[in-house]
Structure 1
Amino acid sequence: MSSTTFGSVSFNSGWLRKHGTLSSNSRQCDGSLLRVRASVASSPQSLRSTKEKIDASEKSVRIGVLGASGYTGAEVVRLLANHPHFGITTMTADRKAGQPIGSVFPHLMTQDLPAMVAIKDADFSNVDAVFCCLPHGTTQEIIKSLPKQLKIVDLSADFRLSNINEYEEWYGLPHKAPELQKEAVYGLTEVLRGKIRNARLVANPGCYPTSIQLPLVPLIKAGLIELRNIIIDAKSGVSGAGRGAKEANLYTEVSEGLHSYGITKHRHVPEIEQGLSDASHSKVTVSFTPHLMPMSRGMQSTIYVEMAPGVTTDDLYLELLSAYKDEVFVRLLERGVVPHTRHVRGSNYCFMNVFEDRIPGRAIIISVIDNLVKGASGQALQNLNLMMGFPENMGLDYQPLFP
Structure 2
Amino acid sequence: MARARRIRRVAPARVAELVIDHLGARGDGVATVEGRGVFVPYTLPGERVRARIAGERGALEEILTPSPHRFAAPCRHFGGCGGCALQHAARGFYLDWKRRRIIEALARAGLKDAPAGEAVAIPARTRRRAVFAVRRRGGKVLLGFNARASDRIVGIETCEVLHPALFAALPGLKRLCASLPGEWRAFDLAVTLMENGLDTDLRPARGASEPEGIGLLALREAMEAAGVVRIAMNGEALLTRAPPLVRFAGVPVSPPPGGFLQASAEGEAALVRLVLAGATGARRALDLFCGVGAFAFPLSQIATVHAVDADRAAVAALKAAAAHAPCRPVTSEARDLFERPLMGEELEGYDLAVFDPPRAGAKAQAEALAAARVPRVIAVSCNPSTFARDAAILVAGGYRLKAVTPVDQFVYAAHVELVGVFERV
**TM-score, structure 2 normalization:** 0.27
**TM-score, structure 1 normalization:** 0.28
Structure with greater proportional helix content: 1
Structure with greater proportional strand content: 2
